[in-house]
Structure 1
Amino acid sequence: MLTKRQNLMETITGGNPDRIVNQYEAFVCTDAIYGMIMGDPITAQGKSPMPGGQPEKNAWGITFAWPEGHPGGFPVHDEAHKVVKDITKWRDVVKAPKTDLPPEAWEPYLPTVEAIDRNEVFATAFVAPGVFEMCHHLMGMDDCLLNFYEEPEEMHALIDYITEYELRYAAEIVKYYKPDCIFHHDDWGSSKNSFLSPDMFEEFIVPAYKKIYGFYKANGVQLIVHHSDSYAANLVPHMIEMGIDIWQGCISNNNVPELIKKYGGKISFMGNIDNSLIDKEDWTKEGVAAEVQKAVEECGKHYFIPCITQGGPGSVYLGVYEAITEEINRLNK
């Protein structure tokens, strides 16, 4: 029987997997929060809000709030909390976290990494937010999208600044964690379309990720898994150019079976089980089973991993993720 790691590689290379890859199983390591290597002294320079708790500032000075009853935190963008109010003055207010921390700062995080069985699973480092998300976290989505049109030179400069930080951060992650896989968040669309046109995406975002993902690949990382739980079918050629191995979060609106036919062998797809359809208060095991069966029958065994579309193992409503896992196990039997 293949290990979880081996089975995933057979799946995404068009080889001979002996079972369906079960969601995040090949990236999950025991004791790691959220199933992956999360947390480091660089991002820990800031704070994160607790559900229903007080808003907190992260290491970039961005204020996040997590209201009670909501699935996660999000930046606060009223006039008092917005970091970038004038894109032409971003240099005055945007300050990246320090990355040149001493080795002893990393020591508390290393036991989790050292405990990973790298023969069984990938040592997967979780990185978020991404370049585009960082832009709108700093200034709000409306201002961000307008600035791409109205102040392109300033947006290029800000993205260069964020990219240089990501490269410094990546160098430390590689040095201390030596990950086999990077699981990188950056949502690039809504459920209906990408936030940027493919041409604009190519101009502003692609160069940044070619540097970031190129650095990881040149420094021992085998797999790049990129999360965007959105419509982004129009961006897949650019994902391939960036060096993404697996697009995680591909919702069903992307016509995943068609993407597999068109791009399988160049990139693989992880998702097609939409949170919006099953991760809700009145979910049922029967409803979950139907969606899982549909996804597997549509997409087959190569270049596809059936998975909840949210960006990590788990679900908003207790039991949904586990029900998907159980159904995939049943299909494998």
Structure 2
Amino acid sequence: MSDTVNTYGVGNLLSKKDNLLRAIRHERPDWVPNGMENVILVGPPIIERPGRAGFDDFGVQWAFAEGAKGGTYPVAGGHTIHDIRKWREQIHLPDVDARDWSRAREKAEGVDREQFLVEGFVEFGLFERSYLLFGMEEALVLYLEEPEMMKEVIEELADYKIQLIRKFHETAKLDMIWYGDDWGTQTNLFLPESVWREV
């Protein structure tokens, strides 16, 4: 903690890091953290979404629209799994251990850990990656018609993500992880609740 005086004239203002940790723990922070100004984002050496038109490290094809929010988007028909019965032969998961993790390590090592938290950015949750691999429409149909097979796919993706996160933490000594998924629209889930619970 520093000897800085906060806005109330009280000494020992918390560091940005400690203040955010208080907020996360539902303790009283000195101020309400605004966004992630006290977090340094580090990415893994896996391309989940390319910055330009091309392929991600899972073999999914992406297009690029100049000026579009997010820039790249998956190409219709550019998915990799075309037959649920052959998903094991058609799925491509990047080899986490074969990647060069030096950039992630160096970025994390350069962070002042007294002031900032290091956050690992792990893009695309299990559902998102599943519809990228199958195509959105096909994935939704398969969740309804072949839930057991889709459960196997999700388990494989979960094992991969766990391996990725372990390697990421081992390399960058992460304080936290950004990991999200998209399960619905503004008004409802993409699939019935019973399917989510089963898969």
TM over 0.5: yes
1:98-177 equivalent positions in 2, closer than 5 A = 98-101=95-98, 105-177=100-172
For residues 118-161 of structure 1, give each alpha carbon's deviation from its aligned partner in whole angstroms, at most 9, with x where no partner exists.
22221100001111100000112111111111011110111111
In 1, Cα distance between equivalents of 2:196 and 2:116: 33
Which of 12, 18, 42 does residue 30 from structure 2 map onto?
A: 18
Structure index of larger Rg = 2
* Partner in structure 2 of residue 71 of structure 1: 69
Q: Is the 8 A contact 1:4 1:121 kept in 2?
A: yes
* Partner in structure 2 of residue 187 of structure 1: 182
Deviation at 1:98, TM superposition (A): 0.9
Q: Is the 8 A contact 1:47 1:56 kept in 2?
A: no
TM-score by length of 2: 0.85
SS where residue 157 of structure 2 aligns? helix
Query: In 2 relative to 1, CA 12–198 (structure 1 residues): closer, same or farther, beyond 3 Å?
Result: farther
Which of 33, 40, 43 does residue 38 from structure 1 map onto?
A: 43
In 1, Cα distance between equivalents of 2:51 and 2:29: 41
1:245-284 equivalent positions in 2, closer than 5 A = none
In 2, Cα distance between equivalents of 1:16 and 1:47: 38
For 1:100, give the aligned amino acid.
D
User: Higher helix share goes to which structure?
Assistant: 1
In 2, Cα distance between equivalents of 1:133 and 1:191: 16
In 2, Cα distance between equivalents of 1:25 and 1:202: 36
For 2:61, give the aligned amino acid.
T
Runs (4 or more) in structure 1 with deviation over 6 Å come to: none
Query: In 2 relative to 1, CA 197–9 (structure 1 residues): closer, same or farther, beyond 3 Å?
Result: farther
1:91 matched to 2:88: yes
For residues 71-92 of structure 1, give each alpha carbon's deviation from its aligned partner in whole angstroms, at most 9, with x where no partner exists.
12121122xx231222222122
For 1:85, give the aligned amino acid.
H
Query: In 2 relative to 1, CA 86–70 (structure 1 residues): closer, same or farther, beyond 3 Å?
Result: same
SS where residue 136 of structure 1 aligns? helix
SS where residue 17 of structure 1 aligns? coil
Q: What number of residue pairs does the alignment pair up?
A: 186
Deviation at 1:176, TM superposition (A): 0.7
In 1, Cα distance between equivalents of 2:112 and 2:198: 40
In 2, Cα distance between equivalents of 1:152 and 1:47: 26
* Partner in structure 2 of residue 6 of structure 1: 18
Q: Which moved more, 1:108-117 or 1:172-181?
A: 108-117
* Partner in structure 1 of residue 79 of structure 2: 82
* Partner in structure 2 of residue 48 of structure 1: 50
Report 1 or 2 for greater relative contact order, CA contacts < 8 Å, sequence distance ≥ 6: 2
Which of 42, 50, 60 does residue 58 from structure 2 map onto?
A: 60
* Stretches of structure 1 lacking an aligned partner (at least 5 in a row): 30-35, 205-333
In 2, Cα distance between equivalents of 1:47 and 1:18: 37
For residues 178-210 of structure 1, give each alpha carbon's deviation from its aligned partner in whole angstroms, at most 9, with x where no partner exists.
101000121121122222333322222xxxxxx
* Partner in structure 2 of residue 278 of structure 1: none
Query: In 2 relative to 1, CA 163–21 (structure 1 residues): closer, same or farther, beyond 3 Å?
Result: same
